Amino acid sequence: MYAFIAQQGQLALVEHPMPSPAAGQLLVKVAAAGVNRADLIQVAGKYPPPPGESEILGLEIAGEVVALGEGVSDFRLGDKVFGLVAGGAYAEYCLLDQSLSILQPNTLDDLSAASLPEAWLTAWLNLVELGGLRLNGSSAGQRVLIHAGASGVGAAAIQLAKACGAWVAATSSSPAKLDFIRALGADLVINYREQDFAAEVKAAGGADLILDTVGGQYLAGNQRCLNQDGQMIVIGLLGGVEAQLNLGLLLVKRQRISGSTLRSLPLARKAALTLALRSEVLPRIAMGEFNITLDRHFAFADAPAAHDYLAQNRNLGKVVLQFTPSGKG
């Protein structure tokens, strides 16, 4: 089969052995695969797959079940499914654990389905499980700051936080992106290139929870606008891996700072997040409460162009690769 791997800092399309499903796994003929900034970092040699996982790029897929591993009981050959993987999505065939598999409803096409797992599981993990927001409305009055609001994760996080009743501020970098995140429900939109996000958020009442995809250079600003007993969750390092922490603010404001990654979580944790996507997010998508934010798709063979598009920060939401029956795109 054809697959993309990282070679010398570049994406390389190679012939790769067909994977075989182990117990509890599905073999899926991939119809679409999500593109994530983590893929770009892996190509650059800075984010290797967890031990034992595929060297093939890609963290989320949609497609058709073509083989079943021992013990799989909830899925059948021919089922259309989508879900999260720790690697292997940029290929004609990919292994998907049954606990991370979701039957694709008729209301979703392959591209839309492939755009959901990484963004929504990341948003749920950090806002609900770690950040303490709740969909039952008990989070009314909570104030949330989301950086990179026009990214796939940012777009999901804005919608989820609003559904929990929170006031939401979000940062981005252009008029089109600011309009995009405003349409998703953000109460305060900030152009980080022209405005001091910390000053803007602090003037508006500060933030109780910050979802930070930037890290590094944003630490000082985050601390300045984080309220008493506030929490900052760092999920990305676009702004660098090092920063100076103000321990005085940390102590006086009783701030909490934590790091979070989805890819390295134990399977059981990912399975619980998948259940939340299936039972809480998908019904709200079907009802129109949550929007699918699919910006653009590229043919599988054009994966390098998709990476360039994401690297240039041109996307409003998710970017997805589409596979054709011929395999190479």
Within-domain flag for 271:
no
| 176 and 202 inside one domain | yes
| 244 and 157 inside one domain | yes
Question: Token pair for residue 258?
Answer: 């934590």
- Residue 326 in this model has a pLDDT that exceeds 50: no
Within-domain flag for 244:
yes
Contact 39, 57 (CB under 8 A): yes
| 154 and 47 inside one domain | no
Give how far Cα 81 sits from Cα of 111, 180, 228, 292, 326, Å: 12, 29, 43, 17, 20
What per-residue confidence (pLDDT) applies to 239? 76
Domain boundary among 242, 259, 276: 259
- Residue 137 in this model has a pLDDT that exceeds 60: yes
What is this structure's pTM?
Answer: 0.95
| 99 and 192 inside one domain | no
| 24 and 106 inside one domain | yes
Q: What is the CATH number of the domain that holds 56?
A: 3.90.180.10
Number of domains in the chain: 2
pLDDT digits (tens, 9 = 90+) for 300-309: 999 999 999 9
pLDDT digits (tens, 9 = 90+) for 89-99: 999 999 999 99
Q: Which residue has the higher pLDDT, 215 or 325?
A: 215
- Residue 219 is part of which domain span? 122-259
Within-domain flag for 265:
no
| 166 and 238 inside one domain | yes
Q: Please give the average per-residue pLDDT across 13-27, as a whole number.
A: 97
- In 124-232, alpha helices (H): 152-163, 175-183, 197-203, 219-225
| 109 and 129 inside one domain | no
What per-residue confidence (pLDDT) applies to 325? 57
Q: What is the CATH number of the domain that holds 177?
A: 3.40.50.720
Domain boundary among 259, 281, 304: 259
- Residue 59 in this model has a pLDDT that exceeds 90: yes
| 84 and 137 inside one domain | no
| 213 and 84 inside one domain | no
pLDDT digits (tens, 9 = 90+) for 254-283: 999 999 999 999 999 999 999 999 999 999
- Residue 244 in this model has a pLDDT that exceeds 60: yes
For the CA atoms of 314, 9, 213, 288, the dihedral, rounded to the nearest 10 degrees, stands at 50
- Mean pLDDT of all residues belonging to the chain: 95
Domain boundary among 241, 259, 277: 259
